[in-house]
Amino acid sequence: MANEVLTGAQAIVRSLELLGVTDIFGLPGGAILPTYDPLMDSTKIRHILVRHEQGAGHAAEGYASASGKLGVCIATSGPGATNLVTAIADAHMDSVPLLAITGQVNSTSIGTDAFQEADIVGITMPITKHSFLVTKAEDIPGVLASAVLIATTGRPGPVLVDIAKDAQNGKAEFVWPPRVDLPGYKPVTKPHGKQIQAAAQLIKEAKRPVLYVGGGIVRSRANLELLELAKIIGAPVVTTLMARGAFPDSDPQNLGMPGMHGTVPAVTALQRSDLLITLGARFDDRVTGQVKTFAVGAKVIHVDIDPAEIGKIRFADVPIVGDLKEVLTELNAELANDLKGTKPDIAEWWGFLNDLRTRYPLGYTEPEDGKLSPQFVISRIGELSGPEAIFAAGVGQHQMWSAQFIKYERPNSWLNSGGAGTMGYSVPAAMGAKVAQPERLVWAIDGDGCFQMTNQELATCTINNIPIKVAIINNSSLGMVRQWQTLFYNSRYSNTDLNTGTDTMMVPDFVKLAEAYGCLGIRVEKEEEVDAAIKLAMETNDRPVVIDFIVGRDAMVWPMVPAGLSNDAVQFARDERPVWEDGEEE
């Protein structure tokens, strides 16, 4: 029987349906218009019309990060495509499986500077796992199948498929499944047995081991295997910004988050360890501080699906390339067989770390201006919402406080822009997460600066019945930049005042803005109002909710390791000496 003949546009929609795509975030335009016509007839794909293409990209990221599935966004050529670039770069840095489909001018016009032409394949080449340009209708099924395979296997990441308008309008036989031929793409998932044995030997010999856990654990769905490993060896666990929730915060082995704004026990555990069991982490500069002084006495086991990450920053004594779920399954079996129920003797190490916990607990001081404490507000959001909720943060102080003061018990509950640090991520990411997980409570915890970059997606949420909750931590300034100006620029506040929540000016008035978008708008200025506002937001599910929390502008994120310094210079609070200043020993 002959294959059905479809237009390229019909082939795009049919291919996505057969690849299991059920939700797309996008915005139409001339070069992608042929595809939007058959998309209207699809009964399997829900298209959500965003108000800006960057919102489509971040929504697809939030969708993927909350569910573990592929996120899909679509845009037209030229500015439509370039508006996706920030989200694509963000997904690349944080290993988010993303498929970005863009329209392109007719193939005969490519390279002529035609109206709304941009070389989006060339632009995105450094920030994607791969970028495809399709100029023939018959190539569409195979390219889309290849793109999904690349985005979702190995180290997940974004893939862009740019499709010329004449390829969308052309006709060809629709062949499914298509032939996928990627001879240069063979991600290694199974570890080498000898490396597993070498890793087990180092673990058995270590006196001060630390499990240094990165976002790769979340992407590989290896949280249960991680928990088993931690219990087998009894070692402390630190979870990076991207790994919050990969290991339960309630577990006594969890020391919290390491890095520039990590807990003192987590930062110091890495510094003083003799073995870093590095799982799906990449020795990011925000974790290591000054690389030459980072954990100088430690040997390194480094497990990663991406061989390019191993040895890039820190030499690995035992490098293991493979999928973390498979690697940990084999490592756990090896250790269980070797240890036979006993644990390495690291009691002295735990004594040192528990003393740090007592001496340097995570806390905060109340604002002197009488306004709300942002840490208190965020803590109450976490406590009242519970561990089954999803929290998407913007970037800045509120991001760090959300990582510090909300207790995470499960993976995929914490979404943020870690590597790129993209302001404006929170609202559209929360929107995407709510689409992916409609039964869960979803919070966007945002700053007044971040919120003003992408709040137009509240219209998308209202119209499409996506009742997210937005908590604006409103300090009337670009908070993290202001903190740096306080500490390193003699309190010279150059262009960081936003006038969004001062006593004399509120521009814009976020409550009125929320109401204009069809949301419930609430303003909270007193501590006794906080719980009631959060509960009202949680009970309101017929529309999005925006709470404008007016907080103290001088609140700072502590602890802190100043950029470029050794982690030994970690400061617990302003005007205090670094914890390990003057060579203080344990």
CA 106 to chain centre: 36
Cα separations (Å) of 46 from 24, 97, 259, 489? 6, 19, 40, 49
Q: SS3 for 105-151, per residue? A: CCHHHCCCCCCCCCCHHHHHHHHCCEEEEECCHHHHHHHHHHHHHHH
Residues 6+ apart with CB under 8 A from 201: none
Rounded Cα distance, 182 and 391, in Å: 37
Q: Residue 518 is encoded by which pair of tokens?
A: 């069809």
Rounded Cα distance, 111 and 580, in Å: 59
Q: Output the CA torsion sign for 147, 148, 152, 156.
A: positive
Catalytic hit among 165, 299, 325, 371: 165
Cα separations (Å) of 180 from 140, 149, 185, 364? 11, 9, 11, 55
Catalytic hit among 93, 242, 423, 480: 480
How many alpha carbons lie under 13 Å from residue 385 in its C-beta half-sphere? 32
By the 8 A CB rule, do 235 and 253 touch?
Answer: yes
Q: Which of 572, 531, 575, 526 is nearest to 552 (CA)?
A: 526
Mark whether 165 is an active-site residue.
yes
Catalytic hit among 116, 197, 290, 456: 116
Mark whether 44 is an active-site residue.
no
Mark whether 53 is an active-site residue.
yes
Q: Output the CA torsion sign for 371, 373, 379, 383.
A: negative
Catalytic hit among 10, 53, 294, 453: 53
Rounded Cα distance, 37 and 169, in Å: 11
Catalytic hit among 4, 44, 115, 576: 115
- Secondary structure letter of residue 299 according to DSSP: E
Rounded Cα distance, 146 and 439, in Å: 32
Mark whether 4 is an active-site residue.
no
Which residues are known catalytic residues?
Answer: 53, 115-116, 165, 480
